[in-house]
Amino acid sequence: MKSAPHFTMRQLSAFVTAAELGNFTQVARRLNLTASAISNQIAELEGLLGFQLFERTTRKVALTPEGREFLPAALAIRRQLEAAANIASDIRNRAVGIVRVAAPLTVAAEILPRVIADFVRHRPAVQVRILDTGVEWLSDRVANGEADMALGPDRIASPDVMVETLYPSAWVAWCAPDHPMAAHRHLAWADALQWPLVAAGRDHEHSVLPRLPDNIAATVKSAQIVDNVTTALGLAAAGMGFTCSPAYLAGLARRMGLVQCELTNPTIMRAMTLYTPLGRRPSSWAAALATHIRETHLGPASGIDD
């Protein structure tokens, strides 16, 4: 009986990524390798399989009929290898006391350090590692085992992830002290939008615009559209317009010299959320940290000025 070919994770990742991107240079950039290394790995895989996976040209690569047929199996094998690696990582981490928490950059910088410092003060053997993660990937990193839990804004989660609302936080406006908005403690959105808005693109599109009435959303004048709320706050501090964020980032905004204005009509809420896995046993340290987050550090506070 002929033995099965011995694939490596690198070969399968190179093949699957090349099938997605269609260009070895882009694959190399994503996998932090050289284009020649990617080409060699795919050539090795083709040698093991005994058939060609790609038609190659100087500009792009395209799957052969055999490559298209093999792709679903390669994806399944890669998923199984990743799952095995994550299970092994869980076992090691339970043994040495490592807890991994995924969080978006602002939460990782503004909220988690205080939570972690308090948690490990009486648990010196525990290591809590923060995984900087985009908001849209928080649930996925918990579901696939990369993180023991995630802390961040509410988003639709995978069915194998439990979502717990810790506390609500309103979207508020931030501006420089000499901005005309600084004279107001409260403003309706329709009045606030007379001034240019510095928008944190993806969050603004997903969390703010859909909750504004169409006639108000249509009046938005964007001074800048950036990827990260920290950048938006910095531009607002430089007088480039006002920006908005959940009020739980008040500490960061005030350290940048910004002034808060509550936004009403409508009041748009955002929930600080804890994501934990369903159907996967957490380590005792991960369970303890989750309890610590629920009960100790993150009480019901909006961050809005009284």
Does residue 230 register a pLDDT over 50? yes
Residue 31 pLDDT grade (very low, low, confident, very high; cuts 50, 70, 90):
confident
Q: Note the pLDDT tens digit of each residue in 265-302.
A: 999 998 999 999 998 888 888 999 999 999 875 654 44
CATH number of the domain enclosing 207: 3.40.190.10
Give the structural domain span for 151: 95-167+271-297
pLDDT at 96: 55
Q: Note the pLDDT tens digit of each residue in 134-159.
A: 888 999 999 988 899 999 998 888 89
> Would residue 132 count as lying in a domain?
yes
CB 135 within 8 A of CB 153: yes
pTM: 0.65
> Would residue 127 count as lying in a domain?
yes
> Is 288 found in the same domain as 222?
no
Q: How far apart (Å, rounded) are the C-alpha atoms in residues 175 and 137?
A: 29
Query: What does the block give as tokens for 61?
Result: 């690569």
> Is 264 found in the same domain as 173?
yes
> Is 238 found in the same domain as 107?
no
Q: Note the pLDDT tens digit of each residue in 44-53.
A: 988 888 899 9
Beta strands in 21-153 (DSSP E): 54-56, 61-63, 98-103, 127-132, 149-153
Tally of structural domains, the chain: 3
41, 67, 90: which is the final residue of a domain? 90
Residue 87 three-state SS? helix
Q: How far apart (Å, rounded) are the C-alpha atoms in residues 1 and 96?
A: 43
